[in-house]
Homo-oligomer: A and B are copies of this chain.
Amino acid sequence: MNARPPHGSARPGGRTARTRAAVLAAAYDALGAESFSALTLDKLAERSGVHVSTIRRRWRTVEGVVVDLLAERSSTLSTPDSGDFRRDLHELARSIGDFNNALRNRNLIQGLVAAAAYDPRGEEILRDTFVGRIDERAPIVRHAIDRGELPADTDAKDVIAALAAPFYYRVLILRGPIDARLVRTSAEAVYQAARAGVFRRENEAPGP
């Protein structure tokens, strides 16, 4: 069982998949009602109907469950491809904003970052998850390059990271809600900067 990946997707209707769905749903519900720090494996067992020893064998810790939940929730975000770079950026900004504005997702992110401060394994998972998200969205930039909207040597990952950064600064540092203005200014700032060549590779970009 331990060698099996946590997705349990080999048999979508199987017991493993049902167990995962029940536990992640329980975690998702719990985070909508209380903060990450209040979550325990016992509470997840009670909410999901899955035995606590099964949860512990599969995910080891609450952090492990929450990381798996993040992976599942993130994969429901699609990557815009409207044929227009500016429109794609605004659409991606809206989806990142919506994701981070849901109380349970805020609790999830705040809990993950807290877990990472106390646990090197949590730090690694956090990094890998978000580097993976950036990679998934990079085609927005590469398509814009292909259409001639951006300089050919624009760094796609830098652009996506620049778009995402203001949302996490708002949630983790300023601890405030995300409003329509943040969505608009984040998308538009990256659009203007990318068009001006700010994210071209080293030694090509403008400076003061």
| A3 interfacial by beta-carbon distance below 8 Å | no
A173 and B166 form a contact (CB under 8 A): no
A53: which B residues are within 8 A, CB to CB? none
A198 and B169 form a contact (CB under 8 A): no
Of A173, A185, A202, A208, chain B has the most CB atoms within 10 Å of the CB of: A173
A126 and B205 form a contact (CB under 8 A): no
Total identical chains:
2
Q: A86–B206 Cα gap in the complex (Å)?
A: 11
**Nearest CB of chain B from residue A120's CB, rounded to whole Å:** 9
Q: Mark A104-124, 1 if CB is under 8 A from B, else 0.
A: 000000110110111000010
A164: which B residues are within 8 A, CB to CB? 169, 173
Which residues between 121 and 171 of chain A lie within 8 Å of chain B, taking CB atoms? 123, 126-127, 130-131, 158, 161-162, 164-166, 168-170
A162: which B residues are within 8 A, CB to CB? 166, 185-186, 189
| A1 interfacial by beta-carbon distance below 8 Å | no
A37 and B185 form a contact (CB under 8 A): no
23 pairs, CB–CB < 8 Å, chain A vs chain B: A35-B117, A35-B118, A37-B117, A37-B118, A84-B208, A113-B113, A113-B114, A113-B117, A114-B117, A116-B175, A127-B175, A158-B181, A158-B185, A161-B166, A162-B185, A162-B189, A168-B172, A184-B205, A185-B205, A189-B190, A189-B193, A189-B199, A192-B196
